Homo-oligomer: A and B are copies of this chain.
Amino acid sequence: MKRRDLLGAAALLPFGTALLPAPAIARKGECPGTGDLGLIIERATGSVLIVNTSHQEILGRIEGLGDLSHASVVFSRDEKYAYVFGRDGGLSRIDMQGRLMDRRIIQGGNSIGGAISDDGQLIAVSNYKPGGVKVFDSATLQTIAEIPATWEGGQSKTVGLVDAPGRRFIFSLYDAGEIWMADFSDGDSPDIVKIGKAGRLPYDGLIARNGRIYIAGLFGEDGMALVDLWQDPLKVRRILDGYGRGEKKLPIYKMPHLEGWTEADGMFFFPAVGHHEVLVMDGRTWELVGRIPVHGQPVFVMARPDGRYIWVNFAHPDNDTVQVIDTMTRKVVKTFKPGRAVLHMEFTPRGEQVWLSVRDANRIDIYDTHSMERVKSLPAKSPSGIFFTARAHRIGL
């Protein structure tokens, strides 16, 4: 069986060193391009895999990145370096071509993600302990600015940190319930703009529409906070108030990340919290216009880059399942069970394939997004996040 052969091959590959050696010397013209590379988080072992999406192969493994639970990754604008934000405050820079970790700092005690400025010069990290945001030079990882995010209750945890056009970063203050902007357009000393009150306990944020719209999710209220960055002055607007109201909620096994939102065909598709539904919001009016019944509580709701189909994974105990929604009919057209703990999905830049991490099977599954058939599997140790270098060119990732 093709399927068993692939899995068998996977089990034979060794763990602990680079699977393919990096070239010690690359002659003129033999350097690999970096547009088709990617990085996969192996959470349990504090390691990452470097992969190639043209040949669907693993190029190497790098260890020693510390606690990678909820790790996230951004890429330098030349797509040569990955910056990995660890939960333990570690910020590691990976050379994707040399297949090595060339710099690493511990920048805080407990951190929750980061962003890179549009010009590629600034790396910002949002921290839990102590709170606030720190900003580093992307070339040296030396500190450029510290933004303590101080409010009446002390130094707030920060969440939902994203880049916006013009050397700006937007983030939310979990404890203070506010949305702030750090504007580095005049150099390395930022203007800090307190945009406004978001609501109780913002827990994550996303930027949509190529950098125009910032949306924060709220843990303490039934609604969301939106900032239109094209408006002057900037202000917070409440949307989707009571969008879960009136129905009995299921226990919430996993608070969906807002990275799990997607925009397609002028609509936002996103996970309902505590319901077996994908919600649909009109991108012009910000009104809820649809609810799509799905298999479990959605975690990531991700449109193929052309927007034609939307792939959805689920929280425990339904995280063995993936469903595909047709954007036009808003109906589930395919359901399959790759294996236990499908944690993340990443489309290739033009969307012809999607890579899934199947944690408990120690496997990456690669699907053709048109046939919706699996074309290949690769071995990985408890894989979680998958990040391709094409993210370097996108705003707000």
Contact = CB atoms under 8 A, between A and B. Distances in A.
Nearest to A76: B33
Interface of A: 22-37, 53-54, 75-81, 95-98, 100, 102, 118-120, 165-167, 185, 209-212, 230, 266, 284, 304-308, 327-328, 348-353, 370, 389-390, 392-395
Contacts of A24: 27-28
A29 B306 contact: no
B35 A209 contact: no
A166 B352 contact: yes
B370 A185 contact: yes
A80 B32 contact: yes
Given A54-B120, A165-B350, A395 B31 contact: no
A23 B77 CA distance: 21
A367 to B, nearest CB: 13
B28 A352 contact: no
Given A306-B211, A308-B230, A349-B392, A31 B32 contact: yes
A33 B331 CA distance: 41
Contacts of A76: 33, 35
Contact of A308 (B37, B212, B284, B350): B212
Contacts of A23: 28
Contact of A393 (B29, B166, B328, B349): B349
B350 A394 contact: yes
Q: Taking the full assembly, how many copies of this chain does it contain?
A: 2
B78 A393 contact: no
B97 A306 contact: no
A276 to B, nearest CB: 27
B54 A97 contact: no
Nearest to A26: B26
Contact of A395 (B36, B79, B306, B394): B306
Contacts of A353: 119
Given A26-B31, A35-B80, A230-B328, 10 more contacts: A23-B28, A24-B28, A32-B80, A36-B120, A118-B351, A165-B350, A185-B370, A210-B306, A266-B284, A393-B393
Contacts of A78: 32-37, 54
B389 A35 contact: yes
A118 B28 contact: no
A178 to B, nearest CB: 24
B32 A119 contact: no
A390 B120 CA distance: 14
Contact of A350 (B118, B352, B389): B118
A326 to B, nearest CB: 10
Contact of A100 (B29, B54, B352, B370): B29
A352 B304 CA distance: 26
Nearest to A166: B370
Contacts of A120: 36, 54
12 contacts: A22-B29, A31-B32, A35-B78, A36-B78, A36-B79, A54-B78, A77-B348, A79-B79, A119-B350, A211-B306, A305-B395, A350-B394
Contacts of A209: 307
A77 B349 CA distance: 9
A102 B29 contact: yes
Contacts of A37: 78
Most buried by B among A35, A97, A266: A35
A76 B119 CA distance: 23
A79 B35 contact: yes
Contact of A97 (B25, B33, B390): B33
